[in-house]
Amino acid sequence: MPYLWSVDAERRLGVVVASVPNSFESTRDGIVEFSKDPRLGPDFGVVLDLRENDYTPSAAEAPELTKLYLDSFRGRPLAMIVSRLVQLGVANMISTIAELRGGSVQAFRDREEGEQWLAAEVARRSTKVG
């Protein structure tokens, strides 16, 4: 299975980890399946850990993946964790497209940094609502 996930209700966090082999289709299927997990609360953040991923989306696929993430995560902030420079470039492209469409997606090379940003984003949103 190219995507494994867990949900940490206490931290209000969903974590998706990519593994090999992977493709556009398996990415789409994995994200859609994860987004249907009933444990994933509406006020959660999502970590998408792509560091071990052997698939890097093309520039043409980036807008399609951005739409998939925004539709699937329905407003939840997303931290994309990558290891390779080419992955960072595509992740930043997705982040920019998401921002233009009203989403909150950020790219990181360090998972701890990504999770810190996500925790702050989730806390900021809960303060705005509450």
pLDDT per residue as tens digits for the range 88-113: 999 999 999 999 999 999 999 999 99
Question: CA–CA distance from 58 to each of 23, 25, 26, 94 (Å)?
Answer: 11, 13, 15, 11
Indicate the pTM of the whole model: 0.92
For residue range 57-90, what is the model confidence (pLDDT) as tens digits? 999 999 999 999 999 999 899 999 999 999 999 9
- Parallel, antiparallel, or unpaired for β 3-8 and 13-18? antiparallel
CA 84, CA 40: separation in Å to the nearest integer? 28
20 vs 92: CA distance, rounded Å: 22
What structural domains and CATH numbers belong to the chain? 3-129 (3.30.750)
Task: Give the separation between CA 2 and CA 5, rounded to whole angstroms.
Answer: 10
